[in-house]
């Protein structure tokens, strides 16, 4: 158990819909990262938040957005869903104390999104 929680575990929805994925980081971790992993693919970095503020953006579509709340939990919003958005979405957290980005990342169990 990494200490990172993600809900829901599974999500099945239709094209065009909007969903929200939730992540709670390990206690004390300030950074939250979101990744997308399609079937048998690598990890595609989407976005990072540090202590409530957006820190870095990766290959995140304009239809996707995220935020980190004062209690440090994070939500990833996916809208106008397409079949190709079906994937495993991982959240990871790291300490990154003082703003450094050298710490190892602890991954949550992931949310499996299926768009039909």
Least distance to other proteins from the beta carbon of 77, Å? 21
Least distance to other proteins from the beta carbon of 16, Å? 29
Residue 57: CA count within 13 A, CB half-sphere = 10
The binder of other proteins chosen from 10, 27, 39, 42 (CB under 8 A): 42
Establish if 102 lies at the interface with other proteins (CB under 8 A). yes
Range in contact with other proteins (rule: CB under 8 A) among 20-28, 41-49, 62-70, 76-84: 41-49
Least distance to other proteins from the beta carbon of 17, Å? 25
Establish if 43 lies at the interface with other proteins (CB under 8 A). yes
| DSSP assignments along 12-44, one per residue | EE-TT--EEEEEEPPTT--EEEEEEE-TT--PE
Q: How many CB atoms lie within 10 A of CB 98?
A: 6
107 in Cβ contact with 90 (< 8 Å) = yes
**Neighbouring residues of 107: CB distance < 8 A, sequence distance ≥ 6:** 2, 4, 90, 91, 92
Establish if 56 lies at the interface with other proteins (CB under 8 A). yes
Range in contact with other proteins (rule: CB under 8 A) among 15-23, 70-78, 79-87, 106-114: 106-114
Q: How far apart are CA 12 and CA 56, in angstroms?
A: 29
Contact residues toward other proteins (CB under 8 A) are: 2, 35, 40-43, 45, 48, 56, 58, 90, 92, 100-102, 104-110
């Amino acid at each position: 158990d990494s200490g990172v929680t993600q809900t829901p575990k599974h999500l099945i929805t239709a094209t065009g819909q909007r969903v929200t994925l939730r992540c709670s980081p390990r206690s004390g971790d300030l950074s939250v990262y979101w990744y997308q992993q399609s079937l048998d693919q690598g990890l595609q970095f989407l976005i990072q938040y540090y202590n409530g503020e957006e820190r870095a953006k990766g290959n995140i579509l304009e239809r996707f957005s995220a935020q980190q709340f004062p209690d440090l939990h994070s939500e990833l919003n996916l809208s106008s869903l397409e079949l190709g958005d079906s994937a495993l979405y991982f959240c990871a957290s790291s300490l990154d104390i003082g703003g450094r980005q050298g710490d190892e990342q602890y991954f949550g169990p992931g949310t499996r999104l299926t768009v039909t």
